[in-house]
Structure formats: C-alpha cells, structure tokens
Amino acid sequence: MLNQKDQLKWPNNHFSTTSIFGGTPSYLQEVEPGVLVKFECNNPGGSHKVRAARYIIQDALQSGSIVQGQTTVIEKTGGNFGFGLIAACSEFGVPVELAVGLNFSPTKRRCLELFGATLIGVEMLKAGSTPREVVEWHQRNAENLGKQYFYTDQFSNPGNVKAHEYGTGAEIVSQLQGWPTVESIILVAGAGTGASLTGIARSLLSAHYDVEVILVEPEGCDSQRGVFIEHRFEGIAVGVSPPLLDWSLVTERVNVDFTTMIAAQNAFAGAHGYFIGNTSAACFAVARKIAGCATNSRKILSLIYDHGLWYFRQ
C-alpha cells in the first residue's frame, strides 16, 4: 500500500476501477525466525517486474509519450519484464511487441503470445541478429511499418528504480509496521538491472532503517568486475554490470552455487508450498544462512521474485 507521500510521486493512476492491478497481493511474511520475504511472485505478470512496467507505462501515458490507440510498446525481453509489460499495457489496450532471443524456452515464447504480445523479428533472429538489433530495426522502420513505437528500455529507464523506491520499497516500509521493534534490515537481493535492489534499499533508508545489502550472485560471476559465466539463475548477472545498481548501497557480495540454490528451493517448497524461482531460492539460501544474526530489532529481508516452474528442467 502506498502512503500519501509516495502516491504523490507515482504517475497519475490510470487504472480502471474494475482492475485488480492497483491492489497488491504481495505479502511480507516471516517465513523463518528472523527472515522476512516479500511475495512478488503473486503480482500480475508473475514477478516484481510488473512494478517497473506499470511505472514506466503510466509515466509515458502521463507525459504523452504513449498515446492510446496510436502507440505500440516495444522491448527486447523474453523474461519477466515482458510478462509485466503485457500486464501493464493490457490495462490501456496498448499493444506490445517483443524481440525475444531464440534461446528462451518455446513455452515462454508461446506464453508471451498467449498473454497478448506479438513476437517480432523472428527471421532476423534466425539470421543472427540480436534482440537489440531487432528493436533498433523496427524503430528505424517505424514509419514504413505504420507504427509509433515507445521503447521502454528497462536497462536505462530511471522509472525502473522509482517503481521500486515508491512502489515495492514503500510498500515494504508500510508492511514493516507489522514488526514495530525492527530498526535495522539486512536486504538480501540479486541484480539484473539493479533497479529493485536500489529502489528498495533507498526506500528503507528514507524510512530511517539501518540498511545493509548483500548482493547475491551465481557462482563464478562478479557483476562489479564484469565477470560472467553461463548459469541457471535467469534474471540476475545477465552479462552486463547492472546499470541501475547503486553500488554504494552494497555492503557485501555472496556467490551461491546451483546445488545450494536447489536445496533452498526444496526447503521453501516443503515448508511453505511455494515452488520459488531460482534467483529467489539463491537469495533465500543466503538469508536463512545468516538468520542467526537476526534479533527483535534486526531482520533479514529478501524477495520471492517469481515462481520456479519456468526454470524447471528434469
């Protein structure tokens, strides 16, 4: 729930009164003594990324960069931001075109279409173009295609951070009223764009919590040094240093290996009935490991970014 101060910072609410979109099913719960998690997996679009999508879309509607009935939203993503974007745009009947790398699973590609997106540039991708090149080609040829594009550009759009500062983070601050003795938070989070970590940490700091941040990364990756290897923690350590991450907020970096992540995923499913995504499980592994340092005034906070079935392989 946004408080009055934060509502002022959010672009005008364009949501229809019949929409469930404005409400939040994203609970904050103490799942183990000392470990609070926020269930972003319950959001429309299935993850925290809908926050960024709806902030950016509402902001663009307000500024006139998106005109309903004229503009098409374009982005290069096959991940959670894509699903969030479709959810956000469907509210206003704004069409979404996505350039999705062919390495994304056929299930995910098909689901994006079922949710209402048009997948563009398939032939270009087959011929070796990158999703970025597909987006750039469409932008260059917009007139010939009879389109007016708005590129959401999640990796460099400051709205992505604001969405988490004034949305997710403000909501956490409000939900923390359920733990009135807490003064200090250890935030355990991953970074793809870096926006959610940065926005949430800033929001907690503005609310005068003492904040430490542990950045969780897959084994073998070091985003700060630009070291990346192939891994299964889709959404974090994505091959570029997270452009929206404020490194001054990060106290420590912890690498998690696949086996540790799976153990945490199984533990969470067994205890709470949620099969959480890989990045969430990696963060949960770290959160429960340090749970011993939690007290009445100090809690560990982490995020359930999304569900795990997308990533399940037998």
Contacts to ligand PLP by CB under 6 A: 47, 49, 79-81, 190-197, 235-236, 242, 277, 279, 305-306
Distance CA 208, CA 38 (A): 20
In whole angstroms, how close is the CB of 34 to ligand PLP at the nearest point?
22
Distance CA 313, CA 226 (A): 28
Q: 113 pairs with which residues across the strands?
A: none
In whole angstroms, how close is the CB of 284 to ligand PLP at the nearest point?
12
Distance CA 41, CA 304 (A): 6
Distances (CA, A) of 43 to 66, 87, 140, 168, 248: 23, 10, 34, 11, 29
In whole angstroms, how close is the CB of 279 to ligand PLP at the nearest point?
4
In whole angstroms, how close is the CB of 104 to ligand PLP at the nearest point?
12
- Written as six digits, the tokens of 263 are 């153990």
Q: What is the DSSP string of 97-127?
A: EE---TTS-HHHHHHHHHHTPEE--HHHHHT
CB nearer ligand PLP, residue 53 or residue 182: 53
CB nearer ligand PLP, residue 182 or residue 214: 214
Place of tokens 């991953």: 190
CB nearer ligand PLP, residue 178 or residue 220: 220
In whole angstroms, how close is the CB of 217 to ligand PLP at the nearest point?
11
Which of 254, 213, 216 has the alpha carbon at shortest distance from 237? 216
In whole angstroms, how close is the CB of 313 to ligand PLP at the nearest point?
16
Distance CA 282, CA 259 (A): 10
Number of residue whose CB is nearest ligand PLP: 235
- Written as six digits, the tokens of 126 are 């087959």
CB nearer ligand PLP, residue 179 or residue 258: 258
Determine the residue type at 46.
G
Place of tokens 């290069």: 76
Place of tokens 């939203």: 73
CB nearer ligand PLP, residue 284 or residue 305: 305
Pairing between strand 35-39 and 28-32?
A: antiparallel
CB environment 266-290: b (16+ within 10 A), e (fewer) = eebeeeeebbbbbbbbbbbbbbbbb
Distance CA 52, CA 42 (A): 15
CB nearer ligand PLP, residue 120 or residue 282: 282
CB nearer ligand PLP, residue 152 or residue 196: 196
In whole angstroms, how close is the CB of 181 to ligand PLP at the nearest point?
29
CB nearer ligand PLP, residue 11 or residue 169: 169
In whole angstroms, how close is the CB of 174 to ligand PLP at the nearest point?
20
In whole angstroms, how close is the CB of 18 to ligand PLP at the nearest point?
28
CB nearer ligand PLP, residue 36 or residue 182: 36
